[in-house]
């Protein structure tokens, strides 16, 4: 039985790993087995990132009294 992959330390770490996987797969030099393993790892990273974003959105809803509001940044950032 294959062991589960360790969860990334943060959203940013997961995103960087995902970008690395995409670059490696885009090169076209990856053997099929490696491509399949990378694809699986990528889907797990996407799920992790989606979960983190959903958690952040939920926290914002709670902080804004259950009403999601646009974020107004100074200087239009």
pLDDT at 2 over 50: no
Torsion of CA 3, 6, 7, 9, to 10 degrees: 180
Is 40 in a helix, a strand, or coil?
helix
How far is residue 47's CA from residue 39's CA, in Å, rounded to a whole number?
12
Alpha carbons 15 and 20: distance in angstroms, whole number? 9
pLDDT per position as a tens digit, 13-68: 999 999 999 999 999 889 999 999 999 999 999 999 999 999 988 888 777 777 66
Residues 6+ positions from 46 with CB-CB distance below 8 Å: 18
């Amino acid at each position: 039985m294959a062991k589960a992959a360790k969860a990334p330390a943060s959203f940013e770490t997961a995103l960087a790993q995902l970008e690395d996987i995409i670059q490696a797969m885009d090169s076209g030099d990856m053997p099929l087995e490696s491509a399949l393993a990378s694809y699986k790892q990528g889907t797990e990273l996407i799920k992790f990132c989606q979960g983190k974003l959903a958690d952040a959105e939920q926290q914002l809803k709670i902080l804004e009294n259950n009403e999601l509001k646009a974020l107004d940044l100074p200087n239009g950032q």
